């Protein structure tokens, strides 16, 4: 029996405005699978990710993400899609004036959680998952870059998403800290059954943490053997 895919693209074109950047994509990601997306700047990596999380509408082909059909996705349904996706970016996008805990509670509030005790418990749980227990009252500005990225990963886990999208997650980090972040992402995939897409320029990480690799180049997305 075939394993269901958490992401399935068949015959998809990716557009940026009125420019087609990727043509006739066939791509699928299984539960708990990690893959890398590589390619030069401007090759379509970010446009592909934006299509997956609903920022760029899908115009043709078949696109299923976490059970949502992107071809019929309405703007009002995009927040529900994004509850199924954890987002990790190169720029941490944390509120510097807040504590770690306040940053995480804000996301739970924004995604419809109401029970304060359950919210607090979930914050402590995800901090424990990323090795940052006891940090909920610390100001974000007191943390190192690697610690801040761990908080971003904790934030991405709050709604227990089946998929994490990491766009250059180690771009601002030194090699040792980058390794720590990749170890963490791989452990989450293994232990939580989370599927992870990592867009990166860091080929060292791909060699150290092997997974399937897809390359955006000359308007195509191809798997690198």
Buried/exposed code over 110-125 (b: 16+ C-beta within 10 A; e: otherwise): eeeeeeeeebeebbee
Q: Kindly report the length of the chain.
A: 225
Tens of pLDDT along the chain (225 residues)?
A: 456 899 999 999 999 888 999 999 999 999 999 999 999 988 899 999 999 999 999 999 999 999 999 999 999 999 889 889 998 887 768 999 999 999 999 999 988 889 999 999 999 999 998 999 999 999 999 999 899 989 999 999 998 899 999 998 888 888 888 898 888 888 888 888 899 999 998 889 999 999 999 999 999 999 998
Q: Which tokens go with 118?
A: 């359950």
Closest by CA position to 34, among listed 188, 137, 220, 224: 188
- Considering only CA atoms, give the Rg of the chain: 17
* DSSP category for residue 2: P
Q: Are the CB atoms for 86 and 165 separated by under 8 Å? A: yes
For CA atoms 220, 49, 195, 204, the dihedral sign is positive
HSE (side-chain half, CA atoms, 13 Å) at 122: 21
For the 33-46+78-224 domain, the top CATH level (class) is alpha beta
């Amino acid at each position: 029996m075939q394993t269901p895919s958490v992401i399935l693209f068949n015959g998809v074109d990716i557009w940026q405005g009125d420019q087609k950047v990727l043509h006739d994509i066939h791509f699928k990601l299984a539960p708990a699978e990690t893959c890398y997306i590589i390619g030069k700047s401007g090759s379509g990596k970010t446009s592909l990710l934006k299509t997956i999380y609903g920022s760029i509408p899908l115009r043709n082909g078949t696109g299923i993400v976490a059970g949502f059909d992107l071809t019929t996705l309405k703007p009002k349904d995009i927040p529900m899609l994004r509850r199924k996706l954890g987002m990790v970016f190169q720029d941490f996008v944390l509120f510097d004036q807040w504590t770690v805990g306040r940053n995480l509670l804000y996301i739970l509030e924004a995604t419809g959680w109401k029970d304060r005790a359950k919210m607090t418990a979930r914050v402590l749980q995800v901090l424990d998952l990323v090795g940052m227990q006891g940090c909920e009252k610390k100001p974000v500005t007191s943390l190192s870059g690697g610690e801040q990225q761990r908080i971003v990963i904790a934030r991405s886990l709050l709604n227990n998403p089946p998929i994490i999208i990491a766009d250059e997650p180690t771009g601002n980090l030194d090699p040792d800290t980058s390794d720590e972040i990749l170890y963490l992402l791989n452990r989450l995939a293994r232990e939580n059954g989370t599927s992870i897409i990592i867009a990166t320029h860091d080929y060292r990480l791909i060699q150290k943490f092997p997974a399937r690799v897809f390359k955006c180049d000359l308007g195509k997305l191809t798997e690198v053997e």
